[in-house]
Amino acid sequence: MAAMMQPQIILLKEGTDTSQGKAQVVSNINACTAVADAVRTTLGPRGMDKLIHDDKGNTTISNDGATIMKLLDIIHPAAKILVDIAKSQDSEVGDGTTTVVLLAGEFLKEAKPFIEDGVHPQNLIRSYRTASSLAINKIKELAVSIEGKSLEEKKSLLAKCAATTLSSKLIGGEKEFFASIVVDAVLAIGNDDRLNMIGIKKVPGGNMRDSFLVNGVAFKKTFSYAGFEQQPKKFVNPKILLLNIELELKSEKENAEIRLSDPLQYQSIVDAEWNIIYDKLDKCVKSGAKIVLSRLAIGDLATQYFADRDIFCAGRVTEEDLQRVAAATGGTVQTSVNNIIDEILGSCEVFEERQVGNERFNIFNGCPSGQTATIVLRGGADQFIDEAERSLHDAIMIVRRALKNSTIVPGGGAIDMELSRYLRQHARTIAGKSQLFINSYAKALEVIPRQLCDNAGFDSTDVLNKLRQKHASGEGSNYGVDINTGGIADSFANFVWEPAVVKINAINAATEASCLILSVDETVKNPKSESAQGEAAASAMMGRGQGGPAFRGRGGRGMRRR
């Protein structure tokens, strides 16, 4: 209980938290503020990166909010809610993960003095929910649609959305180059919603500009048997056969028990085994396919048999790659070589095996169904390429969302300032305490432009004053932080755009999370039922002590890095 004396409680020892009422709410707010502070500096084009090192020796360098939140091993039960909203923002929209954590942290920070002064949390929650719905309606009102534009126009608009996302990432220096790759990749998969139809293959070496987009499928050369090098490595308009069977010489005694009365009969069994494999290979060749891919092994006998007949084969192709080849080429994966008809064979314009870095890649280009694309990423260190992949994932999600919900809002903190101004104005029309609460919600929204300035090393007070003045005049609703000069600029005219759905989702999730945390006023430790006692005994044997289920993990501080 000694930990209770500390003013800022992050996490008490296991099983000792019995605080109630105001102290509990303030304690939870402090924990969430500490989490928001962990990702605060990663926001925006000048955001810093975090290097997270776990006990297995793995190192991750990232400025993606969701990635950092996952890797910080947060064990405080209230602070875990912030991890969940970052994950939900990542899966729903793909970007804005840092924004959502910052907003939730700021809403709670603004609520803290009211709670300490004895305001009932439910009053705050009611006002926050009202403010949230007003803000979301205002976003919908301010959003600009990109529907009805020609393909070229749409492409350039989407590229600007992708560039805005990428500007805050590690590969921000090449954002135009990658933005066009991302837009082409998303347009290539068309209406297919499956994200795994865009493959990202990482090849260390070269520089970022050596990355390229394959309008089809590319995968690393699989394990190959003798005879592989004699196969042709390039085809134009080939037929492609996709299999899920082993083309290896197998002992049939694995499948049946055989009893011989005469040793001479053994030869007939060996012959039968050879006939079975030759029959399979013969049917593959007769199908007219020039490329044979299988999820299972293709042995050395089959490899040489295909090489003699100018057919390319690859075995042990991963499930994901095989499915993508099937979707791209229009082929169907077969589990038997009997009855191979033309309809189940895939096709592409050009197939080639190409050297990329120190790896050889099988590349299927110009696929008819055009439902997949593959981005081959190049770069220096492995950590760098991993972060580039995470950055591209965010950009791909943003472009997909912008295509589906084709409304955009100005970025760079412009929309946040406009919402803040609108809510302050609205607050003046309300009587009672909720005027103060909505005002504090409006103030919390300013955290985004303020943090953008702080991270870039500008004077945030000065920039925010300019922004407030510009937005209040009624003419500058699109004005946000100018990252290059340290002043303010029209975000819309400068093409700093983001899909409206990103902001709507972020405000929704952050408000929900802060209301949820404000509504918790007691942590209840489970009474020891028989099962709990058994569990506690088991965990004591493992040397972990015992505690209420909300605090399972290791006692001590609120955030622990793996």
Give 451 or 151, the one with higher predicted confidence.
451
Whether 97 is catalytic is yes
The pLDDT, as a whole number, for residue 553 is 40
The pLDDT, as a whole number, for residue 14 is 56
CB crowding 51-76: b at 16 or more within 10 Å, else e: ebeeeeeeebbbbbbbbbbbbbebbb
pLDDT band at 318 (very low <50, low <70, confident <90, very high): confident
d(CA 82, CA 89): 11
Q: What is the pLDDT of residues 171-211, one digit of tens each?
A: 777 788 888 888 888 887 776 666 777 888 888 887 888 88
How many Cα neighbours within 13 Å face the side chain of 177?
13
d(CA 423, CA 72): 34
Q: Average pLDDT in the 142-163 region? A: 78
Q: Which of 490, 505, 496, 513 is nearest to 405 (CA)?
A: 505
The pLDDT, as a whole number, for residue 247 is 80
d(CA 415, CA 143): 9
Helix-helix angle 460-472:414-427, to 10 degrees: 60
d(CA 391, CA 168): 9
The pLDDT, as a whole number, for residue 2 is 47
pLDDT band at 106 (very low <50, low <70, confident <90, very high): very high
- Sheet with strand 497-499: strands edge to edge: 144-145, 407-410, 497-499
Among 42, 60, 67, 98, the active-site one is 98
The pLDDT, as a whole number, for residue 7 is 56
Q: What is the pLDDT of residues 112-122, one digit of tens each?
A: 999 989 889 89
pLDDT band at 556 (very low <50, low <70, confident <90, very high): very low
Question: How much of the chain, in percent, has pLDDT values that exceed 90?
Answer: 14
pLDDT band at 154 (very low <50, low <70, confident <90, very high): confident
Q: What is the pLDDT of residues 497-549, one digit of tens each?
A: 788 888 999 999 999 999 999 988 877 655 554 444 444 444 444 444 333 33
- 361 vs 214, 220, 230, 244, 348, CA distance in Å? 11, 4, 17, 21, 16
pLDDT band at 423 (very low <50, low <70, confident <90, very high): very high
The pLDDT, as a whole number, for residue 442 is 93
| pLDDT of residue 378 exceeding 90 | no
The mean pLDDT value of the chain amounts to 80
Range(s) of the chain covered by CATH 3.50.7.10: 217-251+270-369
Range(s) of the chain covered by CATH 3.30.260.10: 151-215+376-405
d(CA 356, CA 112): 55
| pLDDT of residue 10 exceeding 70 | no
The pLDDT, as a whole number, for residue 156 is 79
What kind and span of H or E run contains 82? helix 80-92
Range(s) of the chain covered by CATH 1.10.560.10: 17-145+410-519
| pLDDT of residue 370 exceeding 60 | yes
Q: Which of 336, 319, 315, 290 is nearest to 226 (CA)?
A: 315
- Sheet with strand 212-214: strands edge to edge: 198-204, 373-379, 212-214
Highest mean pLDDT among 109-123, 259-273, 344-358: 109-123
Among 97, 164, 222, 329, the active-site one is 97
| pLDDT of residue 252 exceeding 60 | no
Question: How much of the chain, in percent, has pLDDT values that exceed 70?
Answer: 87
Whether 64 is catalytic is yes
Q: Average pLDDT in the 457-469 region? A: 89
What number of other Cβ atoms are within 10 A of residue 264's Cβ?
8
Q: Average pLDDT in the 260-266 region? A: 77
- 419 vs 87, 134, 253, 441, 471, CA distance in Å? 25, 9, 75, 10, 10
Q: Which of 296, 188, 166 is nearest to 244 (CA)?
A: 296
Q: Which of 432, 419, 435 is nearest to 506 (CA)?
A: 419
Q: Which of 529, 483, 553 is nearest to 46 (CA)?
A: 483
Radius of gyration of the chain (CA): 30
Q: Does 151-215+376-405 carry CATH code 3.30.260.10?
A: yes
Highest mean pLDDT among 84-98, 170-184, 425-439, 532-546: 425-439
Q: How long a stretch of residues is the chain?
A: 562
Q: Which of 57, 52, 46 is nearest to 70 (CA)?
A: 52
Give the SS3 label for residue 304. Answer: helix
* CATH code at 217-251+270-369: 3.50.7.10
d(CA 43, CA 23): 31
Contact criterion met (CB below 8 Å) for 62 and 169: no
| pLDDT of residue 103 exceeding 90 | yes
d(CA 43, CA 335): 50
Among 33, 42, 60, 64, the active-site one is 64
pTM exceeds 0.95 for this model:
no
Assign domain 17-145+410-519 to its CATH superfamily. GroEL-like equatorial domain (1.10.560.10)
According to DSSP H, which parts of 341-482 are helical? 382-404, 414-427, 434-445, 447-456, 460-472
Among 90, 386, 394, 482, the active-site one is 394
